[in-house]
Amino acid sequence: MLRIEDTDSSRFVPGSEEYIIESFKWLGIKFDEGPHVGGNYGPYRQSERREIYRKYVDELLAKGLAYYAFDTPEELDAMRARLEAEKAPSLQYDSSTRLAMRNSLTMSRDEVKFRLDGGEQYVVRIKIEPNQTVVVNDLIRGEVAVNSSLLDDKVLWKSVDGLPTYHLANIVDDRKMKISHVIRGEEWLPSAPLHVLLYHYLGWEDTMPKFAHLPLLLKPDGNGKLSKRDGDRLGFPVFPLEWTDPKTLETSCGFREMGYFSEAVINILALLGWNDGTEQEIFSINELIEKFSLDRVSKHGAKFDVQKSAWFNHQYLLKSSTEMLTDLFTPFMHANAAVPIFERKTLEKIIDLVKERVNFVHEIWGQSHFFFIAPTIYDETVVKKRWTPETPDILTKFADLLEKESDFSSENLEKITTDFIKTNNYNMGQVMNCLRLCLVGAAMGPHLNDIMAIIGKNETVQRIRTAVSTI
């Protein structure tokens, strides 16, 4: 089920709902219910459920478990300033401060009615009694007991937009939609006692869902919670898809646009704070569904490892079919002005030769460009280290030999090259490194006989002769 929790109208971001749906679609996660597919428990946007919530606000008010508060922002600031000056242990709006504020606990019924009828803005706050023990049973952290005196009288409803806050809306919706487990980040653990109280206040404690508060995702160095700014600063994605903030127009990179496979992203996220108790690291979505359990989730934060994430993507790249990789690579080939001079089968062979060397599809070009475009510059480090006065004559003789060959298969080229070096008592490393420099322009690439076989006899000979005359 997908539920859009949009009750905080001040933080509404245009396009965010569509972005969320598109992100799950890319990840391959399908919903049985939601605003885009319907279902039996709609509406699925909380902003469309205000009448439902209002019923339970009125019930809490009638029971004396909530109250109207008319305090202005300035009055709330003044309260906090006063408490701070008094060195109070807390700056909260709670049982120790509410009787000094403008609310229905300190006003007559007539005054409250007058203010409501006059359209004065208000909020509804939960009324929490002090010195009560509230117990949260968490599937990851065990039993957590909290003294209610530490809790503030949180806002449940705002007249300014006629909407509830997260606290009330989610309790009501989880009940109405028959949610069995509430699984969220540990930053919500301090709010869990309030939610437990709401279940008790509404008489729903027997159907209260099970709670599990997941550990935080930490920065790569482990110091602090991971944020989008860390991704922007260090050059790795935090968002599933690229996102442009409609207000600031700042763009944050996404896993999809950075070249990650969606299956790899799911695998990466699943292992941040969880394992199945074995050494296995690569899990299909079906394996994760079968093996995942909350009792294997760690209580401690999990560092986001950029290098490990790339490794995961590499594994999924290797698992992908050559046909799919070729389809994904073709746009990068065209973007780099490479004319498609090879047949489809040859392109697939090139990808098979270099895919072990890359983590992302877009990196294939960097490992294969020399198949498509002859080098025009040559690595100076290799030239200084390997190119000797004898090299031009040796390579010219080898080019002459290749011109006479009719069998330009990889297997035959390996034999020809080896025989040429042994027959003339040349140094194997010396010749092969210089030959690679001629064909590639640098000390990189797959086996030379595979390169020569793919680019063909004429191109191979031409590259050797060009390098000999250039270097």
pLDDT of residue 338: 61
pLDDT of residue 339: 63
Per annotation, catalytic residue among 87, 158, 228, 303: 228
pLDDT of residue 190: 94
pLDDT of residue 340: 62
**Count of CB atoms within 10 A of residue 393's CB?**
10
Q: Which domains does the chain have, with CATH numbers?
A: 1-39 (no CATH), 49-214 (3.90.800.10), 218-316 (1.10.1160.10), 320-372 (1.10.8.70), 380-470 (1.10.10.350)
pLDDT, tens digit, for every residue of 211-243? 999 999 999 988 889 888 888 888 889 999 999
Q: Has 228 been annotated as catalytic?
A: yes
CA distances to 271, 304, 358 from 311, in Å: 13, 13, 10
- 10-residue mean pLDDT profile of the chain (471 residues): values are 92 92 96 96 95 97 98 97 94 96 97 97 98 97 96 97 95 97 95 97 96 94 86 86 91 94 97 95 96 94 94 98 96 78 91 97 96 95 95 97 96 97 93 96 96 97 96 90
389 preceded by a cis bond (ω within 30 of 0): no
Q: How far apart are CA 368 and CA 226, in angstroms?
A: 35
- Residues near 125 by Cβ (< 8 Å), separated by ≥ 6? 66, 67, 69, 93, 98, 103, 153, 154, 155, 156
pLDDT of residue 365: 95
pLDDT of residue 441: 97
Q: How far apart are CA 172 and CA 199, in angstroms?
A: 9
Residues 101, 161 contacting (CB under 8 angstroms)? no
- The half-sphere exposure of 424 on its side-chain side, counting CA atoms within 13 A, is 18
CA distances to 44, 62, 250, 263 from 164, in Å: 15, 17, 30, 37
Residues 185, 172 contacting (CB under 8 angstroms)? no
Q: What is the pTM of this model?
A: 0.89
- Residues near 369 by Cβ (< 8 Å), separated by ≥ 6? 336, 338
User: Which burial class, exposed, middle or buried, applies to 335 when counting CB atoms under 10 A from its CB (0-12, 13-18, 19+)?
Assistant: exposed
Strands 210-214 and 181-185: parallel
